[in-house]
Amino acid sequence: MSAVATPARQASGGVNVKLVNRIVIYGLLALFALFYLMPLFVMLVTSFKTMDEIQNGNMLALPKAPTFDPWLKAWGETCVGLTCAGIKGYFWNSIKMVVPAVLISTMLGALNGYVLTKWRFRGATLVFGLMLFACFIPFQSVLLPMATILGSVGRFGVTLQNSIGTSFGLGNSTVNLVFVHVVYGIGFTTLFFRNYYEAFPTELVKAAQVDGASFFQIFRRIMLPNSMPIFVVTVIYQFTNIWNDFLFASAYAGTGDSMPMTVALNNVVNTSTGVVEYNVNMAAAMIAALPTLLVYVLAGRYFVRGLMAGAVKG
C-alpha cells in the first residue's frame, strides 16, 4: 500500500480482504466436510448398486437403478465363514451382549460414583486411582489370562451340563463377553458418575442422613432422580464402545455362531472364496454401523460429552 492510497481505497481493500478471508474459510470447511463424508457416501451408494454397475461405473456416481437387494442379501444370505445365513444372527448376538453389559456396568458405576463422592473414606482416592488406571491399560496385557480363565470356566460349565443338566450360562460366549465388558467397563462408568456426583451438593445428602434416610434411600430418592444426563452419557458411551469392540470379541468369540457383529463383518469382508460382492460387503458394514450412527444422530450432544468426560478428567 503506497503513501498516496486514499482512506476510501484502504477501506474498500479491507472489505475485500475480509470477503476473501470468509470465502477461504468457508471453502476450507466445506472441503474438510467432504473429506469426512466421502467414505460414508461411497459406502452408502455402493450398497445400493448392482455388481455390474460397480465394476463398470464410477465409485462416486449415484446408483442408476437403486436396488435394495445387497442389504437383503447381507442381512439374510451372505456367508460368514462357512455358514451362509446372513449377518442377522450376529446382529442379535451383539444386541444380546450389549444390553446387559451396558446396564450392569452403568448401574455399578452409578453406585461406585455415589460411594466415592458422598461416603468418602480413607483411601478413597487410591481406590479410585486404581480403578481409573484400569481404563487405560492396553487390553493385550490381560487378554491371555482372561482367555485361560474363561476356558476353565467353560470346561466347568460342560461338566455341570453333563452332570446336572444345566451349565448356568458358564462357558456361553455371550455371557463371557458380557462379563468381560462389565469388568473392563466399570472403570469408565465409575469415572463418569464420580465426576458428576462430585458437583452434586453434599449438603442434601447430609440433610437426608440427619433425617435418618438410609444409604440406598438417599441413592434412590435423591441421587437417581438427578442423574438423568450422566446416565444418558454413560449408556451411550458404553453402548458405542461395547458394540464397536473387536479385540475381546475376536479373542473370546471369534468363531462359530456366537460371534458379535464386528467379528462377523470382518469375516464377511475378508472371505476370499468366490466373487467378492462389494455391494453386499458395504451393506453389511452399513448395518454394523447403523446402531451407533443412530445413537449419534439422536443424541450426539451426549455422545460428545461422554467422549470429553473420558478424555478430560476435570
Partner 1 sequence: MSTVATTQIKLTPEQARPRASVRSRLQDALPKIVLAPSFAITIVFVYGFILWTIYLSFTNSKTFPSYVITGSRAYQRLWGWTFDTDPPSSWYTSITNMGIFGFLYILICLALGLFLAILLDQKIRGEGMLRPIYLYPMALSFIVTGVAWKWFLDPGLGLEQTLHQWGWTSFHFDWIKNKDFVIYTVVIAGVWQASGFIMAMFLAGLRGIDGEIMKAAQIDGATTFQLYRRIVIPLLRPIFLSAFIVLAHLAIKSYDLVVALTSGGPGGSAWLPSNFMYEYTFKRNEMAVGSASAVIMLMTIVAIIVPYLYSELREKSR
Pull the grid cell for residue 248: 475381546
Near partner 1 in 229-248, by CB under 8 A? 240, 243-247
Out of 38, 62, 99, 158, the only residue in the binding site for partner 1 (CB under 8 A) is: 38
- Interface with partner 1, residue 25, by CB under 8 A: yes
Out of 80, 150, 285, 309, the only residue in the binding site for partner 1 (CB under 8 A) is: 285
- Interface with partner 1, residue 252, by CB under 8 A: no
- Interface with partner 1, residue 177, by CB under 8 A: no
- Interface with partner 1, residue 139, by CB under 8 A: yes
Contact 39, 50 (CB under 8 A): no
Out of 7, 8, 82, 145, the only residue in the binding site for partner 1 (CB under 8 A) is: 145
Between 9 and 221, whose beta carbon lies closer to partner 1?
221
- Interface with partner 1, residue 266, by CB under 8 A: yes
Q: How big is the site for partner 1, counted in residues (CB under 8 A)? A: 99
What residue spans of the chain are helical by DSSP H? 7-47, 51-56, 69-76, 88-118, 124-133, 140-164, 173-183, 186-198, 202-210, 215-218, 228-244, 247-252, 261-270, 278-311
- Interface with partner 1, residue 161, by CB under 8 A: no
Binding mask 52-81 for partner 1 (x = CB under 8 A): --x---xxx---------------------
- Separation CA 292–CA 266 (nearest Å): 17
What DSSP line would sit under 179-232, residue for residue? HHHHHTTHHHHHHHHHHHHHTS-HHHHHHHHHTT--HHHHIIIIIGGG-HHHHH
Nearest to 42 by CA among 62, 64, 71, 65: 62
Between 36 and 65, whose beta carbon lies closer to partner 1?
36
Span from 8-16, 66-74, 155-163, 294-302 in contact with partner 1 (CB under 8 A): 294-302
- Least Å from the CB of residue 210 to partner 1: 10
Contact 54, 222 (CB under 8 A): no
For residue 87, give every residue at least 6 positions away whose Cβ sits within 8 Å of its Cβ, in sequence order, or none: 74, 75, 78, 80, 261, 264, 265, 268, 284, 287, 288
- Interface with partner 1, residue 7, by CB under 8 A: no
- Interface with partner 1, residue 174, by CB under 8 A: no
Between 146 and 170, whose beta carbon lies closer to partner 1?
146
